[in-house]
Amino acid sequence: MPIVTIQQGPREVEQKRELVERITEAFVATLEVPAESVSVWIQEYPAENWGAAGRLTADR
How far apart are alpha carbons 33 and 40 in whole angstroms? 14
**Could you confirm whether 2 is annotated as catalytic?**
yes
Q: Could you say which of 2, 10, 34, 46 is catalytic? A: 2
Q: Name the β-bridge partners of 6.
A: 42
Of 3, 7, 43, 8, the C-alpha closest to 23 is 3
Q: Which residues are catalytic?
A: 2
